[in-house]
Amino acid sequence: MTTSFPMNAGDGPYSFSKNSQLAREVLEGSKEMVRDAIIGKFDIKTMLSSSNTLCIAELGCSVGPNTLIAMQHVVEALKDKYLSQIMTNSTNNNLEIQVFFNDHVTNDFNTLFRSLPIDRSYYAFGVPGSFHGRLFPSRSIHFAHSSCSIHWLSKIPKELLDEKSPSWNKGLIHYIGASNIEVVNAYFAQFEKDMEMFFNARAEEIVQGGMMVLITPFSSYVRLMKFFGSSLTDLVNEGKLDESLVDSFNLPMYFPSVEDMAKVVEKNDCFSIEKIELTYPKSKLVDEADAKTLMINLRAVLEGLFINHFGSEIAKEACERTILKSEEISTWMKANYEKSCQLFVALKRN
């Protein structure tokens, strides 16, 4: 079994559903590309050769408005494609769409279900389970979408925690900022293994000619996580937190480069890359108020992990201290914002 790392549940002040502007930014950055992939590359006629139903998988949906907005975009693009490719030859408009919202069994599906739009034009389903394994029957999915999810590793490579290993990640909570290349290699090796499982499962589930779109978060937002690391270091220096507890904690995320992604896709010969592209953020989230919002967003993502490892008191203190660093963070953002990018990949099942 793989480990799960759910976002903060419910709809309280630090819940993911109320603090997902970061993920929204990623979504906005990929909206047109998802549409272009569907309009340009998705062969809806072949997909509907034996039925009138399209099945969409949303992998790693979490909660909150973003997954619903993303699915709305996908459904609208599919309908437009249907109208242009099918309806020109027919007057029989009876397309039906199923959307399967997937996430770990620990995800807050109750909140997700209660936020589904009443007037949605698709049938909605929840699918509990890890997307590193099988979720759907063979050849049952026509289009899969995953935004801000595949960078979550199924587990932390053991060697990062082993002081006898060359990959020991002493004093840090992630490979970002690590000078030891072995740390990065250990993270990538885990990502490769996870993606192998991911692609093997999707290769069975997605019909021939079906598509999958994968989107990772903006890199500068990702790097903001280091400020949580420095808050933990502060707590160590003040004697409030044992150093070994920081040494034994690593964030289970790997952010692939274009080359990394191409490599993991090529290992599985069932998918071909239709498009792989870096995009840069349109909005400017760099002033102090923005920095604070971004850090509260990251808190909603990370706090559960911190609580599990450090206990709720240290987790709360580390999060609150990090949010107070908004001036420093704003300065860092101004210097690094332009370089921020997200990775977009559109794949087709051969």
**Binding site residues, a second copy, CB under 8 A:** 1, 50, 52-53, 94, 96, 98, 100, 105-106, 108-110, 113-114, 116, 118, 123-129, 134-138, 140
> Judged by CB, which is closer to a second copy: 96, or 313?
96
Least distance in Å: CB of 60 to a second copy? 15
> Judged by CB, which is closer to a second copy: 107, or 297?
107
Residues in the chain: 350
Instruction: Give the integer Cα–Cα distance in Å for 248 and 161.
Output: 5
Least distance in Å: CB of 127 to a second copy? 6
> Judged by CB, which is closer to a second copy: 114, or 284?
114
Contact assessment for residue 315 and residue 196, using Cβ atoms and an 8 Å cutoff: no
Least distance in Å: CB of 83 to a second copy? 19
Beta-strand runs (E) in 15-116: 53-59, 96-103
Least distance in Å: CB of 229 to a second copy? 31
Least distance in Å: CB of 51 to a second copy? 8
> Judged by CB, which is closer to a second copy: 84, or 123?
123
Least distance in Å: CB of 126 to a second copy? 4
Return phi, psi of residue 144, to 5°.
-115, 145
> Judged by CB, which is closer to a second copy: 129, or 171?
129
3-state DSSP call for residue 149? coil
Sign of CA pseudo-dihedral 301, 304, 308, 309: positive
> Judged by CB, which is closer to a second copy: 29, or 64?
64
Q: Which amino acid is at 55?
A: C
What CA dihedral angle connects 309, 315, 318 and 320, to 10 degrees?
160
Instruction: Give which of 206, 218, 201 is closest to 148, Cα–Cα.
Output: 218
Instruction: Give the integer Cα–Cα distance in Å for 3 and 158.
Output: 14
